[in-house]
C-alpha cells in the first residue's frame, strides 16, 4: 500500500524555561492544541509517537509512550517513544508518516517534547554530550560545542567561510524570531554583538550556539484521502528521507559535509518529484551557526563552499531566494531537543497555510524540514506541499 499522508493539525507551546510546568503538561498542551486544530477527538487517534532525546537523564522519566497515552487519555492506543538525539522529533514524524503510509493506521498524533531547565548547567552539557561518541569523543573531553568548533574551523580553512558570515546566520534568525510569539529569544542581535560575546569554543562564540529549552510541539497526521473531512487546509508530506553517518566525526569522509543530510534529502526530493530549486521555505537544524551554512550546501540549495557567501548575500532571508528558519530556528526559537523536529514542521505548515503572521513567505507552496542528530550521525528530511 502507498497511502498519501497529510498534516491536518498542529500545536506548540511557547519555547523557553518553564519552571512551573512539567514534561507531561507541556506534552498535553501541545497535543491538545494539535487535536483542536485538526478538529479530531481522542477516539479518532489510532496511535501516538513521541519524539524525545533524554527524559531519563533530564528529569528521571523514561517510558514516555505510556506516559503520553495515560495523560492524553488515549489508552489503550499504542504509543511509542522515538529517540535519535536532537533529530528525535523529526524521526517521530517519519515513524508516524510511515505508519499511515503502510496502511496500518489512519490518523496518528506525533508529539515532540523535552524538559531541560531543571538540571544544573554542567549536567545538561553532560547529557547533551551523550549524542556524541562516548569512547572516542566524550571520554576524551570533547564537548558538543568543541566538535562543532572543529567542523567550523575546517570549513573556514577549506572554503574561506568567515566568522562574520556565521554571525549573519544568527542575526537573521533572531530577526525572524522577533515575529514569532512562541519563540524563546524575541530580540534582535548584531554581527558585532555576536562576535564580541564570550568564546564558547573557538571560533564559535556564546551566541553561535542554540540554547537548550523546555517545550513541546505536536502534529496530527492523517490519510490524505480522509483529510478533507477534518480541515480545508491539509498539507501533504510528499517526501520523507532518513540516513545515518558515523557517530564520531573522525571516521567521516569529510567533516565539513553531512553525508547523512545529502542522502536523506535525495530520498525526499525523489519521492516528492522536486528539485532543491522548487523549495520555497525551509526549517534547518542550526544547533550552531556553521550547521545552517553546511545544511544549505548539503541540501543542494547552493554549491559546496558557497554557504557563507550566500548567507551574506541574503539568499536565506525572508524575501530571499530560499528563506531558512523563518521561525527563528533552533538558535532563537529555542531548542528543546526532542521537540525541535516537530516544531520545524509546525512552522512549515503555518507557512504553507499562510498563517505565519509577520514572517510569512509570500506564495509558499513547498516547504522542507531538516533534522539532525548530534553532529550529523542522523539526518531526517521531510518535504511538504500545500494541497
- Residue where a domain terminates, one of 187, 203, 235: 235
CA 312 to CA 160: how far, in whole Å?
13
Domain check: are 108 and 231 in the same one?
A: yes
Residue 119: predicted pLDDT: 86
Residue 200: predicted pLDDT: 94
Domain check: are 245 and 167 in the same one?
A: yes
CA 196 to CA 12: how far, in whole Å?
33
Domain check: are 161 and 282 in the same one?
A: yes
Q: What is the CATH number of the domain that holds 221?
A: 3.40.47.10
Taking 80 as the threshold, does the pLDDT of residue 2 lie above it?
no
The structural domain count of the chain equals 2
Taking 70 as the threshold, does the pLDDT of residue 1 lie above it?
no
Domain check: are 348 and 310 in the same one?
A: yes
Strand, coil or helix: 157: helix
Radius of gyration (C-alpha) of the chain in whole angstroms = 19
Which residue has 569512547 as its cell numbers? 135
DSSP sequence for 123-164: HHHHHHGGGS-TTTTGGGT--HHHHHHHHHHHHHHHH---HH
Residue 121: predicted pLDDT: 86
Residue 3: predicted pLDDT: 87
The residue that leads in pLDDT, 269 or 212, is: 269
Taking 90 as the threshold, does the pLDDT of residue 333 lie above it?
yes
Q: What is the pLDDT of residues 338-375, one digit of tens each?
A: 999 999 999 999 999 999 999 999 999 999 999 999 99
Band of residue 174 on the pLDDT scale cut at 50, 70, 90: very high
Taking 80 as the threshold, does the pLDDT of residue 328 lie above it?
yes
Q: What is the mean pLDDT of residues 182-195?
A: 98
Q: Is the pTM of this model over 0.95?
A: yes
Of the candidates 376, 107, 59, 385, the residue with the CA atom closest to the CA atom of residue 219: 107
Domain check: are 294 and 351 in the same one?
A: yes
Domain check: are 115 and 161 in the same one?
A: no
Band of residue 387 on the pLDDT scale cut at 50, 70, 90: confident
Of the candidates 158, 165, 121, the residue with the CA atom closest to the CA atom of residue 143: 121
Q: What is the pLDDT of residues 77-93, one digit of tens each?
A: 999 999 999 999 999 99
Q: What is the mean pLDDT of residues 5-11?
A: 98
Taking 70 as the threshold, does the pLDDT of residue 94 lie above it?
yes
Cell of 274: 522536486
Domain check: are 81 and 204 in the same one?
A: no
Domain check: are 220 and 193 in the same one?
A: no
Domain check: are 194 and 314 in the same one?
A: yes
Band of residue 124 on the pLDDT scale cut at 50, 70, 90: confident
Domain check: are 131 and 250 in the same one?
A: yes
CA 318 to CA 302: how far, in whole Å?
17
Q: What is the mean pLDDT of residues 139-164?
A: 96
Mean pLDDT rounded to a whole number for the chain: 96
Range(s) of the domain holding residue 333: 126-212+237-386
Pairing of β 107-114 and β 47-51: parallel
Domain check: are 207 and 88 in the same one?
A: no
Contact 200, 31 (CB under 8 A): no
Contact 34, 50 (CB under 8 A): no
> H-type helices in 225-355, by residue range?
259-272, 289-298, 307-312, 329-333, 337-353
Domain check: are 169 and 292 in the same one?
A: yes
Q: What is the mean pLDDT of residues 175-188?
A: 98
Which residue has 502534529 as its cell numbers? 219
Q: What is the mean pLDDT of residues 85-110?
A: 98
Band of residue 386 on the pLDDT scale cut at 50, 70, 90: very high
Amino acid at each position: 500500500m502507498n497511502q498519501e499522508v497529510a498534516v491536518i493539525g498542529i500545536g506548540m507551546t511557547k519555547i523557553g524555561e518553564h519552571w512551573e510546568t512539567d514534561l507531561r503538561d507541556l506534552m498535553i498542551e501541545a497535543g491538545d492544541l494539535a487535536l483542536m486544530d485538526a478538529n479530531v477527538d481522542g477516539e479518532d487517534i489510532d496511535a501516538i509517537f513521541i519524539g524525545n532525546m533524554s527524559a531519563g537523564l533530564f528529569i528521571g522519566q523514561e517510558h514516555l509512550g505510556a506516559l503520553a497515552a495515560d495523560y492524553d487519555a488515549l489508552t489503550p492506543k499504542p504509543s511509542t517513544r522515538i529517540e535519535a538525539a536532537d533529530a528525535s522529533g523529526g524521526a517521530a514524524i517519519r515513524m508516524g508518516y510511515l505508519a499511515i503510509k503502510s496502511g496500518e493506521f489512519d490518523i496518528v498524533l506525533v508529539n515532540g517534547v523535552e524538559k531541560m531547565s531543571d538540571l544544573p548547567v554542567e549536567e545538561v552539557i553532560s547529557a547533551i554530550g551523550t549524542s556524541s561518541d562516548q569512547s572516542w569523543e566524550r571520554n576524551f573531553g570533547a564537548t558538543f560545542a568543541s566538535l562543532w568548533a572543529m567542523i567550523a574551523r575546517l570549513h573556514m580553512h577549506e572554503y574561506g567561510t568567515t566568522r562574520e558570515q556565521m554571525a549573519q546566520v544568527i542575526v537573521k534568525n533572531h530577526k525572524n524570531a522577533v515575529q514569532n510569539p512562541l519563540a524563546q529569544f524575541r530580540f534582535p542581535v548584531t554581527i558585532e554583538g555576536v562576535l564580541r560575546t564570550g568564546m564558547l569554543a573557538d571560533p564559535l562564540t556564546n551566541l553561535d550556539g542554540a540554547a537548550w529549552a523546555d517545550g513541546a510541539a505536536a502534529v496530527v497526521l492523517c490519510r490524505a484521502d480522509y483529510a478533507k473531512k477534518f480541515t480545508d487546509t491539509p498539507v501533504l508530506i510528499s517526501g520523507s528521507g532518513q540516513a545515518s553517518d558515523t557517530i564520531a566525526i573522525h571516521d567521516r569522509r569529510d567533516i565539513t559535509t553531512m553525508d547523512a543530510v545529502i542522502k536523506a534529502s535525495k530520498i525526499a526530493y525523489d519521492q516528492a518529484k522536486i528539485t532543491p530549486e522548487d523549495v520555497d521555505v525551509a526549517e534547518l537544524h542550526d544547533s550552531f551557526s556553521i550547521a545552517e551554512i553546511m545544511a544549505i550546501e548539503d541540501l543542494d540549495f547552493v554549491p559546496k563552499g558557497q554557504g557563507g557567501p550566500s548567507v551574506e548575500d541574503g539568499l536565506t532571508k525572508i524575501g530571499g531566494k530560499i528563506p531558512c528558519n523563518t521561525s527563528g530556528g533552533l538558535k532563537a526559537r529555542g531548542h528543546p531537543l526532542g521537540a525541535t523536529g516537530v516544531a520545524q514542521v509546525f512552522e512549515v505548515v503555518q507557512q504553507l497555510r499562510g498563517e505565519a503572521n509577520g514572517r510569512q513567505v509570500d506564495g509558499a507552496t513547498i516547504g522542507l524540514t531538516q533534522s539532525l542528530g548530534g553532529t550529523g550521525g542522523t539526518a531526517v528530511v521531510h518535504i511538504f506541499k500545500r494541497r
